[in-house]
Amino acid sequence: MDNLVSKLYKTGKKILTTKDLALIWQENDSKKLYSKISYYTKKGDLIKLSRGIFTKDKDYDSKELATSIYSPSYISFETALVDAGIIFQYYETIFIATKWTRKINIDNKSFCYRKIKDSILYNSEGIIQKDNYNIASVERAFLDMIYLFPNYYFDNLRPINWEKCSKLVKIYNNKKLEERLLEYKKNAK
pTM beyond 0.85: yes
Residue 103: Cβ-neighbour burial (10 angstroms; 0-12, 13-18, 19+): exposed
Residues 103 and 142 in one domain: yes
User: Does residue 123 belong to any structural domain of this protein?
Assistant: yes
Residues 99 and 137 in one domain: yes
Select from 30, 41, 99 the least CA-distant residue to 70.
Answer: 99
User: Does residue 82 belong to any structural domain of this protein?
Assistant: yes
Alpha-carbon separation of residue 109 from 54, 60, 142 (angstroms): 15, 12, 24
User: Does residue 60 belong to any structural domain of this protein?
Assistant: no
Amino acid of residue 165 = C
Residues 85 and 142 in one domain: yes
Residues 35 and 125 in one domain: no
Residues 134 and 180 in one domain: yes
User: Does residue 67 belong to any structural domain of this protein?
Assistant: no
User: Does residue 126 belong to any structural domain of this protein?
Assistant: yes
Residues 87 and 137 in one domain: yes
Task: Give strand pairing partners of 97.
Answer: 74, 114
pLDDT for the residue 8? 84
Task: Specify the pairing of strand 94-98 against strand 109-115.
Answer: parallel
The count of domains in the chain is 2
User: Does residue 62 belong to any structural domain of this protein?
Assistant: no
User: Does residue 19 belong to any structural domain of this protein?
Assistant: yes
Residues 91 and 117 in one domain: yes
User: Does residue 164 belong to any structural domain of this protein?
Assistant: yes
Residues 97 and 167 in one domain: yes
Residues 46 and 79 in one domain: no
Residues 99 and 18 in one domain: no
Per-residue pLDDT of the chain (189 residues; tens, 9 = 90+): 478 888 888 888 999 999 999 999 999 999 999 999 999 999 999 999 999 999 998 899 999 999 999 999 999 999 999 999 999 999 999 999 999 999 999 999 999 999 999 999 999 999 999 989 999 999 999 999 999 999 999 999 999 999 999 999 999 999 999 999 999 999 886
Residues 109 and 163 in one domain: yes
Range of the domain at 98: 72-188
pLDDT for the residue 102? 97
pLDDT for the residue 170? 97
pLDDT for the residue 187? 85
Amino acid of residue 169 = V
| Cβ atoms 153, 88 nearer than 8 A | no
- What phi, psi does 158 have (nearest 5°)? -60, -40
Buried b (16+ CB within 10 A) or exposed e, 63-77: bbbbbbbbeebbbbb
Residues 51 and 80 in one domain: no
